[in-house]
Amino acid sequence: MQKKRKVLRAPFIVTVAAAASLAGAVALPGCDPTVQGGSCPEEEPERGSSCEADDLSCEYIDSCDNPIGYGCVDGAWQVEIEASCNPPPPPECPAEMPATGSACWQIGAGCAYGGPPDCPDPTIVTCGEDGTWSVTVAVSCNPPPPACPEELPADGDPCEAGIGTCGFMMPTGCGPLPVDGECVLQGDTWRWQVHEIFCNPPPPEECLRAATADACAGLGPTCQWLVPGCADEPGPPALAAVGCFPSLPCETDKACPAGTLCQEVVVNPCVASSPDGVTCAACGEYKNVCVPPSAATTAG
């Protein structure tokens, strides 16, 4: 009696299909592990993390779409195959802004160089096709400072912010002397700060108090006894009256003692050379003298 061949049951067929489906799932690109004697994790393992079976190799696709292989060695995942996905960094820019026309390293490369803290925009230099640096964006944010005035300002006069310190010549009883004027912020206004200077000894106010020629001579060489001279019209007037005056000639009222004015007058030169009154050939000499306002006159 012939035996019937046993028909395979549906569950067996279903099992084979499920296995085939699993195999296909394992081979999906993006995980793409190759199983050798163990089970690969679905996600790319962390380097150095623990694994179960030595000699297990798995392949994945990294973030750069390059294949990367891991192996289980001594219970830890190690990278066995890896492709580089980072291009080499470009050469660094020179520490100092290169001179225009100097050699550069890569055509088309650009470097930015900043200026002062109050100048936010950088200067850009580019490596040209001829292999040399050239400035493509030039930034200038430093306007020239305000110019110093030609004449010495008075202490406390308004000034322009940013002008800083300026040098001047100040007329004094000893002649013009150098002095600095500084523009400083006083309250909410910029003003000149000028420190007046005086020669040593200071302009002798005592000269104006001497009533006689002897008293004037007793004050020393800082004082001189003057007598009116011969004045011609038009021209500077004669000294208004005899008297004792500072010896050094003045240029402006600032060089004179307080309460006096600088004036060009005509004096008698013979008195200084011959105090005893002996006559001489000349009768007039021009001098700049500090005189009281009441003695300042003009040619009539």
Instruction: Tell whether the torsion through CA atoms of 154, 157, 159 and 165 is positive or negative.
Output: positive
What is the model's pLDDT at position 95? Answer: 84
- Three-point CA angle 114, 118, 120, nearest 5°: 45
Asked if pLDDT for residue 33 goes beyond 70, the answer is no
Mean pLDDT of 128-136: 84
Whether 210 contacts 219, CB under 8 Å:
yes
Mean pLDDT over 78-104 rounds to 77
Distance CA 114, CA 95 (A): 12
Report pLDDT for 88: 55
Q: 106 with 91: CB under 8 angstroms? A: yes
**Structure tokens, 173:** 């009883």
Contacts of 95 (CB under 8 A, 6+ apart): none
Give the DSSP H or E segment for 133. Answer: strand 133-137
Closest CA to 146 of 97, 102, 183: 183
pLDDT of residue 203: 55
Nearest one of 226, 191, 192, 187 to 207, comparing CA atoms: 226
Predicted local distance difference test score (pLDDT) of residue 191? 92
Half-sphere exposure of 172 (CA within 13 A, CB side): 17
Number of Cβ within 10 Å of residue 197's Cβ equals 14
- Which structure tokens are listed for 10? 């549906």
User: What's the full length of the chain, in residues?
Assistant: 300
Query: Does the structure show a pLDDT above 80 at 299?
Result: no
Most confident of 14-23, 55-64, 264-273: 55-64
DSSP state of 19: H
Are 85 and 63 in contact, with CB atoms under 8 Å apart? Answer: yes
Which of the given ranges, 151-160, 190-199, 229-238, has the highest pLDDT on average?
Answer: 151-160
What are the pLDDT digits (tens) for 112-121?
887 655 566 7
Q: Is a pLDDT exceeding 70 seen at residue 14?
A: no
Q: In the predicted model, is pLDDT for residue 187 greater than 60?
A: yes
- Percent helix, strand, coil in the chain (nearest 5)? 15, 30, 60
Q: Sorting pLDDT into bands at 50, 70 and 90, what band is 90?
A: low
**DSSP-H helix ranges across 67-144:** none
State how far the alpha carbon of 42 is from the alpha carbons of 11, 82, 239, in Å: 28, 18, 116
Mean pLDDT across 97-106: 84
Q: Which residue has the higher pLDDT, 255 or 227?
A: 227
Structure tokens at 53: 């079976």
pLDDT of residue 215: 83
Domain boundaries, the chain: 10-82, 92-142, 144-200, 205-295
